[in-house]
Amino acid sequence: MRARHDDAEGTATARALDADEVAEVLSGSFYTPRASEPARPAREKAEKPLHYKVICISMYTKDLDRLDELVTELKSRGLTKANRSALIRAALDQLDLDKVPKGM
């Protein structure tokens, strides 16, 4: 399918699908394998890892900048696998709850 340009009016119009092609796609026959084609086996659902979870947290941009600076420093010291997550885990291991400021 090619784009069609209407230079007489100065506008460009892209031809997507004509009515017959749309009907074929919507009918499902466009994606249905033919009888001569073997059916694809259903994908097995991969097991999710149980030893970690992906989470989303909010952080101030200045804190993220500082975190990235620390990761860069660790990498320059030869810790090539340093990343945000590893640095946060290391900080959690060293956290003293008695030193956490009140009003957090």
Q: How far is CA 91 from CA 7, 13, 16, 64, in A?
A: 63, 57, 54, 14
Averaged pLDDT in 10-residue chunks for the chain of 104 residues: 51 62 70 69 84 94 98 97 96 96 87
- Tell me if the pTM is above 0.85: no
CA triplet 55, 59, 61: central angle to 5 degrees? 135
| Residue-level pLDDT at 33 | 65
| Residue-level pLDDT at 92 | 96
| Residue-level pLDDT at 67 | 97
| Residue-level pLDDT at 23 | 74
Residues 31, 40 contacting (CB under 8 angstroms): no
